[in-house]
Amino acid sequence: ETRQSRQRAWVEVNTAAIQANVRALQRHIGPATQLMAVVKADAYGHGALPVARAVLEAGAACFGVATLAEGVQLRRAGISSPVLVLGNLTQPEELRSCLRWQLMPTLSSMREALLCQNLASGSGRTMAVQLKLDTGMARLGADWQEGPRLVAALRGMEALDLAGIYSHLACADAAPEEDDGLSDLQQRRFESVLSSLNEQGLTAGCRHLANSAGTLRGHRQHFDLVRVGLALYGQPPAPHLAGVVSLRPALQIHARVTLLRQVGAGVGVSYGHRFRTSRPSLLAVVSIGYADGVPRQLSNRMDVLFDGRRLPQVGAITMDQLVIDATEAPRIEVGSLVTLLGDQGGESISPLDWSERCGTIPWEILCGFKHRLPRLAV
Ligand code: PLP
């Protein structure tokens, strides 16, 4: 009996696939550009520590996390590579922890810079930081036009080491026919800051702009480093970017059939009877639900894979269970494995498929898998 066979449902994570993706992405960006592995949100649900160790082995240069706790988790596990906190840290306590754990905070304002300078100089240490500029996302970052002035000010703060300058693309995954040129505009704004720094003889460390979509779009947005999340996990950010680099999906979701029921025609299934059988049917109850991260909005709109073929999910997805119509699969048994995300035979179902069916994005699907589901590395 394998470990898997004792689970009712689980997330299978293929770290070799993630390593292959790092290598494929590194070939795409070339040797002059480094790869930052974005491992926030528990590595998009794949497990931060196993992913961090795997990508380091495959050549990732550094890490991006969203919160202080995510950075500390890497340090406590003995990972010593550079870590950039992509989210904003505003409390002196948080910034003090950055110093202690050698995590780089992102600065979006003079206020944050002064706070870091005071804390670092007060403890007689130097603090590595990165400056973020808003070139069109209107979220974090200082106005890009303030860039040269801020870099000059930061360079004057002797307790700060300005290790990088970056911005973030808002619409890099837009399909070509919907691209209104924002990514190009953001790139030109970023470049104009860099050239005025050049003119003033100011350096700002590592320069970076691209997320996964920016990385896949083309080389002009790569600069010194790319910050890759979704593509690292083998998921394309949008259908038109799927073929640019050959990526291997790293995550599969499997669950077990726990009960089989033969019912007649006209039987209402699950809460609200949102599905009614149109013929005598074999229903299979599968032990996974929305509390595990299967979006309830997929009720009656998703398939699962069994024995290399698709079977429709029917009725409302409930907290811990969902029902599939297995009439076409008489070989199904209690204990049979069904695959919700992943591949079997020639069939595959991706987070992008789910997201398109329920009006969200693959990022949210991946982050939705709860710790109630064990992660099994294969
Ligand atoms: N850079 C920043 C600042 C981010 O917030 C994120 C994630 O949203 C990423 C890079 C990685 O994005 P993606 O998963 O699209 O590669």
Asked if residue 5 has pLDDT above 80, the reply is no
Tens of pLDDT, residue by residue over 247-261, are: 999 999 999 999 999
Reduced to 3 states, what is the DSSP secondary structure of residue 189? helix
Nearest to 59 by CA among 38, 36, 42: 36
C-beta of 168 in contact with ligand 1 (< 6 A): yes
Average confidence (pLDDT) over 178-188: 95
- The letter for the amino acid at 27 is R
Q: How far is the CA of 332 from the centre of ligand 1 (A)?
A: 41
Of ligand 1's listed atoms, the one at least distance from the Cα of 44 is: 14
| Residue 86 Cβ < 6 Å to ligand 1 | yes
Q: Which of 233, 271, 290, 370 is catalytic?
A: 271
Q: Mean of the pLDDT values across residues 30-34?
A: 97
| pLDDT at residue number 36 | 98
The predicted pLDDT at position 4 comes to 60
- pLDDT at position 1 is 39
Pick the atom of ligand 1 nearest to 38's CA: 11
Residue 43 Cβ inside 6 Å of ligand 1? The answer reads: no
Is residue 40 part of the annotated active site? The answer reads yes
CA of 228 to the centre of ligand 1 (A): 6
Which residue out of 22, 38, 165, 232 has the highest number of ligand 1 atoms within 8 Å of its CB and is therefore the one to mutate? 38
Does residue 362 have its Cβ closer than 6 Å to ligand 1?
Answer: no
Other Cβ atoms less than 10 A from the Cβ of 175: the count is: 10
Per residue in 257-289, pLDDT (tens digit) is 999 999 999 999 999 999 999 999 999 999 999
Mean pLDDT of 175-184: 93
Q: What is the C-alpha separation between 313 and 322, in angstroms, rounded?
A: 7
Distance 76 CA to ligand 1 centre (A): 23
Instruction: For residue 26, report the distance from its CA to the centre of ligand 1, in Å.
Output: 17
Neighbours of 176 (CB within 10 A): 7
Q: How far is the CA of 37 from the centre of ligand 1 (A)?
A: 10
118 or 4: which leads in pLDDT: 118
**What spacing in Å lies between the alpha carbon of 40 and ligand 1's midpoint?**
9
Top mutation candidate among 25, 83, 211, 223 for ligand 1, by most atoms within 8 Å of CB: 211
- Residue, of 234 and 378, whose pLDDT is higher: 234
Closest CA to 25 of 15, 37, 14, 13: 37
34-38 vs 225-228, strand pairing mode: parallel
- The pLDDT value recorded for residue 276 is 98
First to last CA, the chain: 16
Taking a C-beta distance cutoff of 8 angstroms, is the pair 304, 340 a contact? yes
Query: How sure is the predictor about 220, in pLDDT bands with cuts at 50, 70 and 90?
Result: very high
223-232 average pLDDT score: 98
Per residue in 334-343, pLDDT (tens digit) is 999 999 999 9
State the closest ligand 1 atom to the C-alpha of 172, by its place in the atom list counted from 1. Answer: 15
Taking residues 354-360, report their average pLDDT: 96
Query: What percentage of the chain carries pLDDT values higher than 90?
Result: 95
44: annotated active-site residue: no
How do strand 337-344 and strand 251-263 relate by DSSP bridges? antiparallel
pLDDT tens column, 72-114: 999 999 999 999 999 999 999 999 999 999 999 999 999 999 9
Cβ of 226 less than 6 Å from ligand 1: no
Report the nearest atom of ligand 1 relative to the CA of 86. Answer: 3
Cβ–Cβ under 8 Å, residues 34 and 70 = no
